[in-house]
Structure 1
Amino acid sequence: MAFLRLFKTPKNQQFAYKPRYWDPKKEEAEERRLRVEALQNGGVDGIKERLRGGFRRGAGGEAAGRYRSQRVKKSNYSLIIILITLIVVCYVAYKLYFPDFEQLLG
């Protein structure tokens, strides 16, 4: 009986997934509304929510994000300057120290 299964391979299992609509802006607005309500109510839950929001945003808040983006720009600028300098140094070294090498290639 096993020889009959040689020619009939099992089909792949089908998966019917129907995605639902998800609105991230609406979800964020709802979370913000709930956070504001918890802060207005005060008490222990309000304090917990305020601390949680502070950790979520980070220590510096928006200023830390600007500082980081400035540092990234400065780092990228330094990297470009270093690459240009290395290319110029390699070109000068090639022209001064390897003129015979250029004749061999050409």
Structure 2
Amino acid sequence: MAFLRLFKPPKNQQFSYKPRYWDPKKEEAEKLKERVEQLQQGGVDAMKTRISGGFRKGAGGAAAGAYRSARVKKSNSTLLIVLISLMGIAYIVYQLYFPELEAWLS
């Protein structure tokens, strides 16, 4: 029975830390509250906060998601049209030239 353990290396010890008290919604609300307070104060810190908030949201905000979705749909439809046309061309070539190739090989 001991020879079976020679071929199976021991597993690494795993560590998983799960915090007991953590509320992600509360933490997000606190960050938003702090950001609003900094924006209301004005000055250089408010400008930095506004710029960093824009980077976090993304270039277009919610509209960017809709734009990307529309572009993906258009790209997929173009790809489908190209594949169908290539399959049609392959079928036509097969019908026109395969009998000649078969006769030539025979």
Does TM, normalized by the shorter one, top 0.5? yes
SS in structure 1 opposite 2:36? Answer: helix
Corresponding residue of 1:75: 75
- 1:32-87 Cα offsets, whole Å, 9 max, x none, are 23222221232322111011112222333333332222112111110111011111
The runs of 5 or more residues in structure 2 that have no matched partner are 1-5
The runs of 5 or more residues in structure 1 that have no matched partner are 1-6
Corresponding residue of 2:54: 54
Corresponding residue of 1:33: 33
Q: 1:101: how far off?
A: 6.2
Relative distance call for 1:26 and 1:85 in structure 2 (3 A) is farther
Q: Answer yes or no: is 1:45 the counterpart of 2:53.
A: no
Matched pairs, number: 95
% of aligned pairs identical? 57
Letter in 2 for 1:44: V
Relative distance call for 1:27 and 1:82 in structure 2 (3 A) is farther
CA distance in 1, matches of 2:67, 2:15: 47
CA distance in 1, matches of 2:35, 2:41: 10
CA distance in 1, matches of 2:99, 2:24: 62
CA distance in 2, matches of 1:63, 1:29: 23
